[in-house]
């Protein structure tokens, strides 16, 4: 199965083509903004290098930034529609967990910078936003991944928690693809390829509809 994996949830855009668990081609670019322009170019480069035939599109759905998520999902659905293939959603936490298969008894906490003075914490199948000073108490040993892993691990260690800081910070295309493949085959619960929003979008529609233009 050939899978195009797309990610723009955090401060990096990436695209990769994976077949039979092997990464055939990948491109990535650091990007605090501009995901909508960067990601299509990366996907095009990957498919030009490794071939345009695909059987599935995998895309990260969050948690992450509103603009990046929308850019990646729009591209994923467009490519999938054009190719006549399914599109499968993967959370950032699922992709990072796939990169960390040997944690033993440690529960994985994936900490994402919300850019609003809080962190999105994905663990035990749920995602919630927490203030840095009010993180929950782990019920046992934990490992922390994600782009906000270092401050979260430090805060937990200061409390005396048994915590391990991992080096997994951002999703990689191969792991996004592998999670999507398992989901497609029924080994994981279904997840819609729709944005996983924890906070409401910063841009909101007005509560009242706009007034009509005055008549001349």
Q: Are residues 20 and 67 in the same domain?
A: yes
Count the Cβ atoms, other than its own, within 10 Å of residue 202: 10
* pLDDT score recorded for residue 97: 96
Looking at the predicted structure, is the pLDDT value of residue 207 above 70? no
Compute the mean pLDDT over every residue in the chain, rounded to the nearest whole number: 89
Please tell me the pTM assigned to this model: 0.88
Same domain, residue pair 57 and 143: no
pLDDT exceeds 70 at position 203 = no
- Closest C-alpha among 38, 40, 35 to residue 70: 35
Structural domains counted in the chain? 2
Does one domain contain both 41 and 15?
yes
pLDDT digits (tens, 9 = 90+) for 23-34: 999 999 987 788
Same domain, 84 and 179: yes
pLDDT of the residue at 104 = 92
pLDDT bracket for residue 52 (50, 70, 90): confident
Convert the pLDDT of each residue in 103-151 to its tens digit: 999 999 999 998 777 899 998 878 999 987 889 999 899 999 999 999 9
Based on the domain organization, do 81 and 112 belong to the same domain?
A: no
The pLDDT assigned to 206 comes to 47
> In this model, does residue 200 exceed pLDDT 60?
no
Residues 23 and 125 in one domain: no
Say yes or no: 144 and 80 in one domain. no
Question: Does residue 109 share a domain with residue 51?
Answer: no
18 falls within a domain = yes
Q: Are residues 48 and 88 in the same domain?
A: yes
Does 39 share its domain with 9?
Answer: yes
Q: What is the rounded average pLDDT of the residues 178-203? A: 85
3-state SS, the chain, equals CEEEEEEEEECEEEEEEEECCEEEEEEEEECCCCHHHHHHHHHHHHHHHHCCCCCEEEEECCCCCHHHHHHHHHHHHHHHHHHCCCEEEECHHHHHHHCCCCCCCCEEEEEEECCCCEEEEEECCEEEEEEHHHCCCCCCCEEEECCCHHHHHHHHHHCCCCEEECCCCCCCHHHHHHHHHHHHCCCCCCCCCCCCCCCCCCCCCCCCCCCCCCCC
What pLDDT shows up at residue 33? Answer: 80
On whether both 124 and 74 belong to a single domain, the answer is no
Range of the domain at 149: 100-165
User: Are 75 and 179 part of one and the same domain?
Assistant: yes
215 inside domain: no
Please check whether residue 107 lies inside any domain of the structure: yes
Strands 2-10 and 12-19: antiparallel
Give yes or no for residue 204 having a pLDDT over 70.
no
């Amino acid at each position: 199965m050939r899978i195009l994996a797309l990610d723009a949830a955090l401060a990096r855009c990436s695209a990769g083509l994976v077949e039979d668990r092997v990464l055939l081609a990948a491109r990535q670019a650091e990007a605090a903004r501009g995901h909508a322009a960067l990601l299509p170019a990366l996907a095009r480069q990957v498919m030009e290098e490794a071939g345009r035939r695909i059987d599935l599109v995998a895309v990260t759905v969050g948690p992450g930034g509103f603009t990046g998520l929308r850019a990646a999902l729009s591209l994923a659905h467009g490519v999938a529609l054009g190719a006549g293939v399914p599109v499968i959603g993967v959370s950032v936490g699922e992709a990072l967990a796939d990169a960390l298969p040997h944690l033993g008894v440690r529960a994985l906490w994936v900490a994402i910078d919300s850019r609003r003075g809080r962190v999105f914490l994905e663990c035990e199948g749920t995602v919630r936003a927490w203030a840095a000073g009010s993180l929950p108490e782990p019920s046992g040993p934990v490992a922390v991944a994600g782009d906000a892993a270092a401050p979260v691990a430090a805060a937990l260690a200061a409390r005396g928690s048994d915590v391990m800081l991992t080096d997994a910070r951002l999703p990689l295309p191969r792991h996004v693809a592998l999670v999507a493949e398992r989901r497609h085959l029924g080994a994981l619960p279904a997840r819609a390829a729709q944005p996983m929003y924890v906070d409401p979008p910063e841009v909101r529609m007005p509560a009242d509809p706009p007034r009509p233009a005055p008549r001349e």
